[in-house]
Structure 1
Amino acid sequence: MQSYLRDLGLLRDRRFALLVSARTIAVLGSAFAPVALAFGVLGLPGATASTLSAVLTAEAVPMIALTLFGGVLADRLPRTSVLMAGDFLMATGYLALAAMLLTGWTPLPALCAAAAFSGVATAIAFPAFTGIIPEVVPVDRLQAGNALIGLGANAARVLGAVLGGGAVVLLGGGWALIVSGAMFTTAGLLIAMMRMKPDTAPEPRRRHSVVADLRDGWREFASRQWIWVVVAQFSLIVMAIQAGHGVLGPLLAKETLGGPAAWSAFLAGEAVGTIVGVLIAMRLRPRRPILMGVLLCLPVALPYVLLGLDAPLWAIVIGAFVLGVCFDVFGVLWQTTMQREIPGESLSRVSAYDMLGSLMFGPIGLVLAGRAAEWFGTEESLLGCAVIVVLSTLAALLSPGVRNLKAPAGEPVS
């Protein structure tokens, strides 16, 4: 208990408390938005699934296309400024969508343009957020800091999933999007209040072209075997998760488990697991953090195995809980190790390569999932997702860089 209280003491630092608050409120806003956007668009006269697909694609394309540019931006400029810009851009996009839904002026190109603001905001904010944490948290407290930020974010996701659906039912999609926009505006204002000290800002460096900056970031990324191996592993794991969570799991829930209520129980179990995982990660200090993180990816296959074997719902929910725990412990170990090992002036660019590489096969998983269910069956396809998770993890364990990277000397060891 004393150790947890010591970690909570980080919140006495004004800048860290503001960062945690901003992140928690932003995640709460982002948890509101998907439900509000989906039902708001589908409720438009003449709207179809293709209409929603077009809007979501307009959001996703700039996020992927501009991620690397976001990393360059966050390594060149004060990261508080970049984070503020991301939050305010997100608010602008959601408020514009809300205005269109509430006024009834909803041409598809305008909806797509407003949605694109969200994708641009994510592309520039994520690398900046990863890079700003070491500027605020002492190096020997990074893991506790990452865990506390994750705890607030995961609690916000759970709360947002509950409140978001209720807000759409009670207020409608347009008003729920206004709530999301207000939350991102609040998050941006909290970041503005951080007022970073001069000695915490990145050291000024000679300006190069964007291409040269990207090339330097790639060198930092590619020179560390443990980074590119785990990113390659996660490109496949995310593909499997997108297929399993996005299509195959809900499809099986509809076919055999009882419908939306069963899938909601699955997601609730996973959400509770993410909170427990963060609490574990606050105290876990492995000697080889990346090795432990990769090993924790093996149980991620468990819920897909249980779904594929037609296990009872209670067992499947427990499997989802295990997935949530393992994923969040991995996330804290991964973020902390990157922040310790990567020079601060390159951290956001390396984080951008990490994000791009990890997510690049996700859309393929969504596209292939429906075909796989038709060709092989839903249960068999879920077992295939589990196989992808296990094989990609075992392949990553072959890397000496993954197995041998050690935590800094003097760190407490679990």
Structure 2
Amino acid sequence: MPVSHNTLNYFNNLFQPVRQSRPFRYLWLGQLFSVLGSSISMVILPMVVYALTGSKVVMGTVMAVYMLPYVLMLPVAGLMVDRMNRIGVMVAADAVRCVMMLGMMFLLLQDRMTLPLLYSFMAVYGFMEGLFQPAYSAMRARVFTPDIRNAANALTQVSHQGVRLLGPAIGGLLISYVSAGVGYGIDAITYLISLCCLWFIRDLGTKRLIKSKIGWKSDLATGFIILKGHPWLWITIAVFSVLNIFFSGIVLILVPWLFKIHHGFTPFLYGLGVTFAGVGGVIAALLFGSRTSWRKRGWLAYGGVIISGVALLFLPFVAWGPGLVALMAVEGFGMMLFGLVWETSLQELVPEEAFGRVASIDLLGSFALLPLGYLAVGGLADWIGGQATMVLLALGGLLIAACALWVPAIRNFD
């Protein structure tokens, strides 16, 4: 059956950034491999924790140990990436994470992994993530120029979600039939590939964006001033400071428990669930990328949040494996819709010279409460039960999203 002219035009537009921009090609390719490795290791992580302890509280503690250094690094990282070579910052973070994953591989293969060692590795990983993410966000804002912005964001998300279709399934197979350590070894290789890709565009990060000498405090205040001028940005950051606890607490702590402990499903089925969350994300990204512009983006973004929340609300009532996998796909679809609107709005509203600081404030606001939140989620689940906690958190998230839509700056964002 011949491919329609409209379909050819769609994919031609979607891949325009690859043909047109050399920096995009290397940035995109390096992060494609990095996301693949991370999607493998992050599926393996809860299986390792539950194999060591079987405790939801410990899983919450592990995530808190990861998030606390991540949050603490963000204010400093935002200033660093506006003052320093952003590519150099990313290369350094990738190098450390590569070495760390090799260490985890060795310990798991030798059956010498302990909970204190796992805490140590996750703390280092959190610091490096807090350093890397503001730099990567700032480089996207620079590389994703207005002429390719929508296509670049859509293609990045489609391809990232595409490798997430493979990563979780690979991670589930590895931990079921090979070894968790092999998965971390693969992750180390992907960080090395990312590092090499970044090296080819290292000159892109040499531009010094902060040239004044007014001091770090004043430079940081600039980020807050920019956010204050855009209610859509600062209100959404405030909303997600709580919403992230509710939704990510379900996805990262309670969904693995639901699959592995409560239902007794294999790690492969859990990996398949995470994979289909990626499928939902790919569908959302393809939908978003089908148009050069969208109207009523406030409704579109928070509508995605509500779709995700409804899927999470139904999860604890479903005991059928394929049904759980389908709900994970719906959850991924909703959150991807929000993420694409949010990413493009940041790139449109925030000037390049301050993007590192604004990105760090965005990440800080969204994730600052997560360390305590993860501990609270684990403790609440042990107190009232995992399923009841999932229902409570999903309802809370839906209520917050509905309240946000009552604010004119949110629902009228266009």
Equivalences for residues 130-279 of structure 1 within 5 A = 130-168=137-175, 172-196=179-203, 201=207, 203-253=209-259, 259-260=265-266, 263-264=270-271, 266-279=273-286
| 1:263 shift after superposition | 4.7
Query: How far apart, CA to CA, are the structure 2 residues paired with 1:57 and 1:311?
Result: 29
Distance 1:179 1:397, change over 3 A: same
Distance between the aligned counterparts of 2:302 and 2:109, measured in 1? 46
**Contact 1:40–1:101, Cα closer than 8 Å, also in 2:** no
TM-score (norm 1): 0.84
Q: Is the 8 Å Cα contact of residues 303 and 316 (structure 1) preserved in structure 2?
A: no
* Cα offsets for 1:152-179 (capped at 9, x unmatched): 2212222121223334456534443232
1:83-102 paired onto structure 2 within 5 Å: 83-101=90-108
Confirm or deny that 1:127 pairs with 2:134.
yes
Percent same amino acid among aligned pairs? Answer: 23
Kindly indicate whether the alpha-carbon contact (under 8 Å) linking 1:202 and 1:344 is maintained by their aligned counterparts in 2: no
Task: Assess if the C-alpha contact under 8 Å between 2:34 and 2:190 holds in 1.
Answer: yes
How many angstroms apart in 1 are the aligned matches of 2:59 and 2:374?
15
The Cα of 1:104 is off from its aligned counterpart by: 7.2
Question: Quick one: which of 329, 333, 346 aligns to 1:338?
Answer: 346
Deviation at residue 393 of structure 1 after TM alignment: 0.9
For 1:141, the aligned partner's letter is I
Q: Which residue of 1 aligns with 2:86?
A: 79
CA contact (8 A) 1:290 1:403 kept: yes
* Mapped partners of 2:285, 2:242: distance in 1: 24
**Cα 1:101/1:124, change in 2 over 3 Å:** same
> C-alpha distance in 2, partners of 1:397/1:48?
39
Distance 1:165 1:250 in 2: 12
How far 1:354 moved relative to its partner?
1.2
What amino acid sits opposite 1:396 in the alignment?
A
- Corresponding residue of 1:324: 332
What SS does structure 2 have at the residue aligned with 1:345? helix
Deviations 1:295-328 (A, max 9, x none): 2211112223323555865555433322211211
Structure 1 position 304 matched with structure 2 position 336 = no
1: CA distance between counterparts of 2:379 and 2:112?
Answer: 36
- What residue in structure 1 maps to residue 363 of structure 2? 355
Aligned to 1:140, the other structure's residue is in SS state coil
1:79-132 CA deviation, whole Å, 9 max, x = no partner? Answer: 222221221121122223334555677687666544433222211111111111
The reply to whether residue 65 of structure 1 matches residue 59 of structure 2 is no
In 2: Cα distance, 1:385 partner to 1:107 partner: 31
Asked if residue 32 in structure 1 is aligned to residue 40 in structure 2, the reply is: yes
* Structure with more contact order per residue of length (Cα contacts < 8 Å, sep ≥ 6): 2
Per-residue displacement from partner, 1:360-403 (whole Å, max 9, x unpaired)? 33344433345544655554433322321221112211223223
Cα distance in 2 between the residues matched to 1:255 and 1:37: 15
Contact 2:64/2:374 (<8 A) preserved: no
- Residues 120 and 137 of structure 1, relative CA distance in 2, 3 Å threshold: same
Question: Residues of 2 paired with 1:357 and 1:11: CA distance?
Answer: 33
Residue-by-residue CA offset, 1:267-305 (whole Å, 9 max, x unaligned): 343221011111112124212323421222111122233
Contact 1:72/1:348, CA 8 A, preserved across alignment: yes
Q: Is the 8 A contact 1:143 1:332 kept in 2?
A: no
Q: Give me the whole-angstrom Cα distance separating, in 1, the residues matched to 2:210 and 2:92.
A: 20
What one-letter code is carried by the residue in structure 2 that aligns with 1:97? M
Provide the rounded CA distance (Å) in 1 between the counterparts of 2:229 and 2:24: 31
Work out the CA distance in 2 between the residues paired with 1:249 and 1:401.
33
Check 1:358–1:323 CA distance in 2 against 1; reply closer, same or farther (3 A cut). same
Which residue of the partner structure matches residue 3 of structure 2? none
**Measured at CA, do residues 91 and 315 of structure 1 come closer, stay the same or move farther in structure 2, by a change above 3 Å?**
closer
Q: Which amino acid aligns with 2:212?
A: R
How far, CA to CA, are the matches of 2:265 and 2:147 in structure 1? 47
Equivalent position of 1:400 in the other structure:
408
- Amino acid corresponding to residue 368 of structure 1 in structure 2: A
Inter-partner Cα distance in structure 2 for 1:336 and 1:246: 26
Mapped to 2, the partners of 1:109 and 1:176 lie a distance apart of 20
Of the candidates 291, 301, 323, which is equivalent to residue 293 of structure 1? 301
Unaligned 5+ segments in structure 2 are 1-6
Letter in 2 for 1:212: S
SS in 2 for 1:405: coil
**Unaligned regions of 5+ residues in structure 1, if any?**
407-414
- Alignment partner of 1:5 is 2:12: yes
Q: CA deviation at 1:254?
A: 6.1
Instruction: Give 1:405 shift.
Output: 3.2
